Chain A
Amino acid sequence: MEERQLTCIGCPMGCQLQVLMDGKEVQSVTGNTCKRGEIYARKEVTDPTRIVTTTVRVLGGAVPVVSCKTGADIPKDRIFDCCHQLRDLEVKAPVRMGDILLKDICGTGVDLVATSEAAARS
């Protein structure tokens, strides 16, 4: 049995959660005040994911970088892999909000999507 400590992010209470794990199975969640705490804890210990937001360089743009996000959650432990892959990525202006800038980042099956616009340099 392994015990994991988490802080719930559901509300300002920030309950300290204790999750008892048997291998990959959640045995119990304690320390939560409401149901949201248990749902959060179960997801966080079995399949923690995050949306990553960052910027990539723009070639020939009116702005030097354009903001972007992963189109869906990616596994938490892949965040740095993804940032590494994006470090040298350059996209050509113009970029429209919603454009896919890179397909299938690091084999996650998730695309990189532009969240702002970059007009071409006039």
Chain B
Amino acid sequence: MKQYDLVIVGGGPAGLAAAVAARDAGIRDILIIERDGRLGGILNQCIHNGFGLHTFQEELTGPEYAHRFIEQVQERGIEYKLNTMVMEIRKDKTVVAMNGDEGMFVIQAKAVILAMGCRERSRGALNLPGYRPAGIYSAGTAQRLVNMEGQMPGKRVVILGSGDIGLIMARRMTLEGAKVEVVAELMPYSGGLKRNIVQCLEDFHIPLKLSHTVVKIEGRKRVEAVTIAKVGPDRRPIPGTEERYECDTLLLSCGLIPENELSKGAGVELSGITGGPVVNDALETSVEGIFACGNVLHVHDLVDFVSGEAAKAGEYAARYIQKGDKREGRSILLRPMEGVRYTVPTFIRPQEMPEEVTVRFRVADVYRDCAVVTYAGDRQISRRRKKILAPGEMEQVVLKKEDLMEEGIEDITIRIEREA
């Protein structure tokens, strides 16, 4: 059996940043396993710009951002295998993988970092009524077809869901000569960034219909028309509000789900809200020595935050390999309250944590003129005013070790409070 100190599953932005940080923390024996034929993951098909403002203080396209990290991996001589599929990760940190050259093989790792990313919610998961003709794609599939394979999925397009990928694809299809008829969004607000709504829809006069969903798909062989209708507060279609659009393509941009089939097999505990592993302050899952970062942990909006989080996972995995685990110490539960849907991490160990830990979270609704308030037990430890909070934008608070050292803190709560 081959042995490595650290195996990283996935060579996208999370896996690359984790590998670089683990090497810089002194781990020499690292293997990245990537399923695709090149490193970089989903960034390779995200050819638009706007990546890297936080990390590099400049606006890069996806492939350029990936390239910066691929170079760092190559400069450090970190080993990677392409076209290689991980089949199983076991609790004892053995990893079963296969590729065309080596067949199936087993690797024993001292630590594993999960960096498999996420998947798009499919038509089946959305329960869309109507026929099942050709011409229905997830927005990311269409993005790959157009940007990497040079193929146009269709000429007249309706898009369901206003997530960033859907908005980006509305512009992309328009620039390639397609007519995007409408973007329909079930919720009364868009999950996409304001910048994308303006620069991908308004620039091209593409209507965005909030509180709308698809109620009918016509066409036996190919999509011929899509009917959308307004929905009420219960998110059910309102009869009489139907509008029919003739089109040949329906793109779906209706949310992303962390891809944790492998994690489940390893016995990693998953969160019912994020769909990703439950982790502590070291981004370590319920299985000792298995860490998680990036979109497999929770879906991010900005790749810069993925890189930052993944670098932490790399450092923590290195520390685990070098010093072993200390699980026996005090562990405090982070509770999301009023308006906060979840937090990552879920547990904080005051003795083990560094001086500061960044807690990332999402809110449940749009809140204006409010504050993000953090309590250690009953004691308020931070209060930050916010003009606006929206579910589409990941938020964060920084916990300080000094605030959590006193004995008897039962939990840490983060909540949204109204400002006077």
Chain B positions 383-413 with a Cβ under 8 Å from a chain A Cβ: 387-390, 392-393
Closest to B149 in A: A64
Task: Indicate if B338 sits at the interface (CB-CB under 8 A).
Answer: no
Chain B residues with CB under 8 A of A97: 63-64, 67
Residue of A nearest to B65 (CB): A115
- Which residue on chain B has the smallest CB distance to residue A58? B150
- Chain A nearest Cβ from B392, distance in angstroms: 7
Q: Which of B226-252 contact A (CB under 8 A)?
A: none
Q: Does A63 contact B (CB under 8 A)?
A: yes
- Does A52 have its Cβ within 8 Å of any Cβ on chain B? yes
Q: How far is the CA of A42 from the CA of B202 in the complex (A)?
A: 18
How far is it, in angstroms, between the C-alpha of A107 and the C-alpha of B67 when the chains are bound?
30
Task: Kindly list chain A residues whose C-beta atoms are within 8 Å of the C-beta of B348.
Answer: none
Question: Which residues of A37-80 have CB atoms within 8 Å of chain B's CB atoms?
Answer: 50-55, 57, 63-65, 67, 69, 76, 79-80
Instruction: Assess the A9–B199 pair: CB atoms within 8 A.
Output: yes
How many residues of B are counted as interface, with CB atoms below 8 angstroms from the partner's CB atoms?
Answer: 31
Question: Using Cβ atoms and an 8 Å threshold, which residues of chain A touch B167?
Answer: none
Q: Are B388's CB and A53's CB within 8 A?
A: no
Say if the beta carbon of B59 comes within 8 Å of chain A. Answer: yes
B294-308 at interface with A (beta carbon < 8 Å): none
Q: Which of B47, B176, B390 gathers most chain A CB within 10 Å?
A: B47
Contact of A33 among B61, B147, B150, B387 (CB under 8 A): B387
* Chain B contact residues: helix, strand, loop or mixed: mixed
Q: Please give me the residue from chain A that is nearest to B146 by CB atom.
A: A55
> Residues of B contacting A69 with CB < 8 Å?
47, 49, 61
A14 at the interface (CB under 8 A from B): yes
Known: A76-B203, A116-B44. A12 touches B194 (CB 8 A): yes
B47 interface neighbour in A50, A55, A79, A87, Cβ under 8 Å: A55
Q: How far is the CB of A96 from chain B (nearest CB, A)?
A: 11
Q: Say yes or no: B148 contacts A53, CB within 8 Å.
A: no
Q: Which of A78-102 contact B (CB under 8 A)?
A: 79-80, 83, 87, 97
- Contact B47–A8 (Cβ < 8 Å): no
Q: Are B150 and A64 in contact (CB under 8 A)?
A: yes
- Residue in B64, B147, B148, B198 whose beta carbon sits within 8 Å of that of A7 in the complex: B198
Question: Could you list 5 A-B pairs, sorted by A, with CB under 8 Å?
Answer: A7-B202, A9-B198, A12-B193, A69-B61, A116-B67
A→B interface (CB under 8 Å): 7-14, 33, 50-55, 57, 63-65, 67, 69, 76, 79-80, 83, 87, 97, 115-116
Which 7 A-B residue pairings sit nearest by Cβ, starting from the closest?
A67-B47, A116-B63, A65-B150, A64-B150, A9-B195, A115-B61, A14-B194
